[in-house]
Amino acid sequence: MVCFRLSPVPGSGLVLLCLVLGAVSSYALELNLMNAENATCLYAKWQMNFTIRYETASKNYKTVTISDFVNATYNGSFCGDGQNGPRIEVQFGSGFSWTVNFTKQVSTYSIENISFSYDTRDSTTFPDAKAKGVFPVHESVALKIPLDDIFRCSSILTLEKSDVGQHYWDVHVQAFVQNDTVSTKEFLCDKDKTSTTVVPIVPTTLPSPTTTPTPKEKPEVGSYSVKNGSNTCLLARMGLQLNLTQDKVTSIINIIPNTTNSTGSCHPQTALLRLNSHNIKYLDFVFAVKNENRFYLKEVNVSMYLVNGSVFSFANNNLSYWDAPLGSSYMCNKEQTVSVSEAFQINTFDLWVQPFSVIQGNYSTAQECSLDDDTILIPIVVGAGLSGLIIVIVIAYLIGRRKSYAGYQTL
């Protein structure tokens, strides 16, 4: 984590900005706001993205996803004063801004409202927008939280208004921090309260971790995509079955596409597909380019709720699956296993993925996995047949020689 300390701003004190930097899959925003006494007054860590539907010059409609906050700034964030409450302000991309305001009551504080604005004059993100200008969206939240609690919501919270969808998850925020100490007492959002008590995962209890659980039916195949501006930059179609083992209990979970959300991002050397649902906080597939001419699945990160209310999390950034040339796609119709760890594997069915060089939203020519390549069976079958024929001839020859010797008697 890298922290930036900005110069004092009148009425706001010192601002300490902390960005979590690392793999492309993170994109967590983290802000530690400090007052004039160098004490923390507001702490926030969260993830978010935005979907914007706009009309084009040709009177069609397009939807773009905004999810890149690597170069975000926090100008205007401050601790509050006698007249105004604390405020978080974030600027990112070309003309995007996001603001959240807090107010204080006697024993509670509130996330009062959230504002988001975007500029369709950005020709990269909105190359063919009919209306050009800055468009603001204001949402009243009025969520009350006990004064000394930190608000947490791992589930996805969605606000939709005026063709704009705002999506938030992994949220941790506390305004009016007391005594320079961020609270460890959590106030959960309603979705998290539900997730920890009702989770549709049915574990199969086993006598030992090595025992194979009862197989489930083949998972439904889902189609997922990621956009960079108005262009599709990642395509994926697959059925997913998760296998995880914890405390000698193995669970098999089929991903249901209709209840699964997908987000992600695309960069020249890396691409991310993130899936989440009511019981899966995130399931990340991170792709990378190697040798400037091939791509592969490099990393898988997972965090999900179990039936006992605990959270299963694991990450592996040293994988090597789904290898194919750049400019092509990767296909494997047969069942294939991605072994993330001894405790977590992903079975894929009818897999077709292209994380780079997508042209006009279509898959390129596919490189098939060896499991699908039936031509490799031909030499194996022929070789096995020839080997069997040779063995039969040798045995027949040996039997014939023994009969020949038996035909002569010693004089």
pLDDT digits (tens, 9 = 90+) for 44-80: 999 888 888 899 998 888 888 888 888 899 999 999 9
Number of alpha carbons in the 13 Å side-chain half-sphere of residue 159: 15
User: Is-same-fold flag (29-191; 221-372)?
Assistant: yes
Residue listed under structure tokens 């262009």: 231
pLDDT in tens, 308-355: 667 788 888 899 999 999 999 999 999 999 999 989 999 999 999 999
* CA angle (340, 280, 1) in 5-degree steps: 70
* Predicted confidence (pLDDT) at residue 233 exceeds the cutoff of 90: yes
Reported CATH class of domain 221-372 = mainly beta
pLDDT in tens, 165-212: 888 888 999 999 989 999 999 999 987 775 433 333 444 333 333 344
**Across the chain, what does the average pLDDT equal?**
82
Domain ranges (residues) in the chain: 29-191, 221-372
Find residue 106's DSSP bridge partners: none
Asked if 192 and 172 count as a contact pair (C-beta separation under 8 A), the reply is: no
Per DSSP, the chain holds a count of helices (H) and strands (E) of 2, 27
Please give the Cα distance from 212 to 206 (Å, whole number).
8
| Helix H or strand E segment including 30 | strand 29-34
Tokens coding 196: 């920890």
pTM exceeds 0.75, yes or no: no
Has domain 29-191 been given CATH number 3.40.190.10?
Answer: no
What burial class does residue 388 get, using C-beta atoms within 10 Å of its C-beta: 0-12 exposed, 13-18 middle, 19+ buried? exposed
pLDDT in tens, 3-24: 433 333 333 444 443 433 333 3
Find residue 169's DSSP bridge partners: 47
